[in-house]
Chain A
Amino acid sequence: MLLTLLAAAGLALLRVRNLFAVVMLAGIYSLLSAGLFTVMDAVDVAFTEAAVGAGISTVLFLGALALCGHHESKPGHTPLLPLFVVLVTGGLLVWGTMDMPGFGDPANPVHHHVADHYIEESYHEIGIPNVVTSVLASYRGYDTMGETTVVFAAAVGVMILLAGRLGRRPQPEGKGDGG
């Protein structure tokens, strides 16, 4: 049911040309994904998806729309070549999944590399019940630090792109800094 709605929202996203509707549909898509994650018991992921995908990024998209207008122009080329590339790539990816072990099989290698240790030992080693938090902040602390740095770097990038002359603006006109 959720997957059907998800597919419907995805198809509608492709068809609609009004970007306001696209932003709203993207928000709905995120919310549906969050519901899907909840059904799969990945509550932490669902939480993040709802807060980031459906919440703040919708606001940021609206902010971006205010900058660039809300109607998508018609593409100037035929969609056949991109469609061909997408079909070939998608076909290759599906073909690649044939060799993967069955989905959700508890005997899969991915569930027995470090996951057993985390689930069985993390309460004794870290002392907190939420395994997600102990993996995120302790076992994988380096990764999370890198992630935090990436978020910071993203803000620096947006600042460079959008703020322009942020630091120099308070100076009065014609006083140095070459205009």
Chain B
Amino acid sequence: MREEVIVRVGAKVLAPFIITFGLYVHFHGDYSPGGGFQAGVILAAAIALLALVYGLDAVQKVVTPRFVRACAALGVIIFAGVGVVTMVLGHNYLGYNALAHDPEHGQHYGILGVELGVLVTVFGVMVTVFYLFAGRRRRKQ
């Protein structure tokens, strides 16, 4: 698709909006539908769109396979880490009330933390899987 001007410009214009929408879905997940999982998928879709239009190599220079693999593991660590932090603070594992004096605020921080973990893992996993499928096709040719 390297010659299609409309597709290239369209993808370039759309990608920042898709990424912004993904972040909105993540941070607004407390008030409206959505959350870390959906946001991760939307961000991964933006990467996939760019890779389909501009080619895998160009995208992999910016978002390296190493980085997304690290993301996939890091998200699980963030999620589990929130649980460990609440335990260190003297509450149950994933007992978010420990994170602030006001339990409601603690719950809020805790949810933001674990949703961030979900976001990072889902983004990393989706992009990793996409890279593997697309990269294998290239190697075969």
* B129/A138 in contact, CB under 8 A: no
* B108/A151 in contact, CB under 8 A: no
Closest chain A residue to B37, Cβ basis: A48
- Given contact pairs A59-B130, A126-B104, A51 touches B32 in the complex (Cβ within 8 A): no
B98 contacts the other chain (CB 8 A): no
A39 contacts the other chain (CB 8 A): no
* A133/B72 in contact, CB under 8 A: no
Give the interface size class of chain A: 35 or more
Alpha-carbon distance A152/B68, docked complex (angstroms):
12
A contacts with B: majority SS:
helix
Closest chain A residue to B75, Cβ basis: A148
Alpha-carbon distance A125/B94, docked complex (angstroms):
15
Closest chain A residue to B104, Cβ basis: A127
* A51/B124 in contact, CB under 8 A: no
A44 contacts the other chain (CB 8 A): yes
Alpha-carbon distance A158/B68, docked complex (angstroms):
14
Report the number of A-B residue pairs with Cβ-Cβ less than 8 Å.
136
Closest chain A residue to B129, Cβ basis: A158
Q: Chain A nearest CB: distance from B50 CB in Å?
A: 12
Q: Chain B nearest CB: distance from A57 CB in Å?
A: 9
Q: Chain B nearest CB: distance from A113 CB in Å?
A: 21
User: Which residues of chain B are near A108, meaning CB under 8 Å?
Assistant: none
Alpha-carbon distance A149/B129, docked complex (angstroms):
15
User: Which residues of chain A are near B45, meaning CB under 8 Å?
Assistant: 51, 55-56, 59
Alpha-carbon distance A76/B77, docked complex (angstroms):
47
* B79/A47 in contact, CB under 8 A: no
- Given contact pairs A47-B33, A155-B72, A128 touches B111 in the complex (Cβ within 8 A): yes
In chain B, positions 2-53 with a C-beta closer than 8 Å to chain A are 25, 29-35, 37-38, 41-42, 44-45, 48, 52
Q: Chain A nearest CB: distance from B98 CB in Å?
A: 13
B134 contacts the other chain (CB 8 A): yes
User: Which residues of chain B are near A46, meaning CB under 8 Å?
Assistant: 33
- Given contact pairs A56-B45, A142-B94, A148-B117, A130 touches B126 in the complex (Cβ within 8 A): no
Alpha-carbon distance A133/B125, docked complex (angstroms):
22
User: Which residues of chain A are near B73, meaning CB under 8 Å?
Assistant: 152
Question: Among A3-11, A60-68, A83-91, A98-106, which stretch is in contact with chain B?
Answer: A60-68
Give B104-129 as 1s and 0s: 1 = Cβ < 8 Å from A's Cβ atoms.
11011011001101100110111011
Question: What are 9 pairs between A and B in contact, CB < 8 Å?
Answer: A44-B35, A51-B45, A63-B137, A67-B136, A128-B31, A141-B96, A144-B118, A155-B128, A158-B132
Residues of B near any A CB (own CB < 8 A): 25, 29-35, 37-38, 41-42, 44-45, 48, 52, 69, 72-73, 75-76, 79-80, 83, 94, 96, 103-105, 107-108, 110-111, 114-115, 117-118, 121-122, 124-126, 128-130, 132-134, 136-137, 140
